[in-house]
Structure formats: C-alpha cells, structure tokens
Amino acid sequence: MTIRGVRGAITVDTDQRELVLAATRELFQAILQANSGLRPIDVASVFLTVTDDIFSVHPALAARQMGWDQVPMLCAREIPVVNSLPLCIRVLLHWNTDRPQGEIRHVYLRRAVTLRPDLVQANEPIETGERFP
C-alpha cells in the first residue's frame, strides 16, 4: 500500500480556543468529505502547523475530540515568513491508500484558498461526477 499526503488549511478570525478547535474540526470534516474512503484507521500520522499568532490551543485536540485519538499527531509553528497569511492552521495527513496521487483532494478553506489556488481549482468536478469542496 502507498502512503499519500493530503494537504489542507483554514484560517480563523482571532486566536480564541473555541474558534481554533471549530476551524480544525471543519477542516478535518471537509478533508473527509472530499476524500471518500479516508478513515482515521488508515492515517499513518498527521502534522499540523499554526502561524505565530495562534497559541491558545493545539489544533490536534480538535481531531482527537472527533475520534482521531489513535492517530499520531504533531503540532508545530510555521516559519515566520514576511507577509505570509496570518491566523492560519495547516495540515498534512499521511494516508495509507491505493488511491492514485491524482485522485487525492486537498482542501483549502476561508482565506487559506489563497495559499494554493491551483489545488482549489483542481478540486472541481472529476470524471466520476462527484463534486468535492
């Protein structure tokens, strides 16, 4: 079986614990919806990062609250690049799947769509007729 990376990102308006947790849950739910068949049991690990302006809570807590408690997770800070997108939570899931790389759907929500507009456009309807956010 191959391991594939699934990327995603979302922003919050302010660094408040409940907003960060809610945004992280929204991101994980959108990734699950966009990648049918993805189950926590098939995820090797998750790497989450936040920008320097988010420090109220580890976003991994939201995933654990969703039942991802057996998945190894790590939270870290993004490097502080000048003019980078503020108040941003990013995720990289390592998914054990036979799905080809071209069928992996990456999810960018809210202001994070500016990070990878090429991947957001790539998530338009695919040949199967399914529509991914």
Q: Would residue 105 show up in a list of annotated catalytic residues for this protein?
A: no
Q: Would residue 116 show up in a list of annotated catalytic residues for this protein?
A: yes
* Active-site pick, 25, 99, 111, 116: 116
* Active-site pick, 4, 88, 108, 110: 108
DSSP state letters, 59-108: THHHHHHTT-TTS-EEEEEPP--TTPPSSEEEEEEEEEE-S-GGG---EE
Cβ-proximal residues to 128 (8 Å cutoff; 6+ apart), any chain:
none
| Strand 73-77 with 2-11, pairing | unpaired
Q: Would residue 99 show up in a list of annotated catalytic residues for this protein?
A: no
* Active-site pick, 4, 90, 105, 110: 90
* Active-site pick, 17, 64, 77, 131: 64
* Active-site pick, 25, 26, 75, 99: 75
Q: Would residue 25 show up in a list of annotated catalytic residues for this protein?
A: no
Q: Would residue 17 show up in a list of annotated catalytic residues for this protein?
A: no
What are the residue numbers of the active site?
7, 64, 75, 78, 90, 108, 116
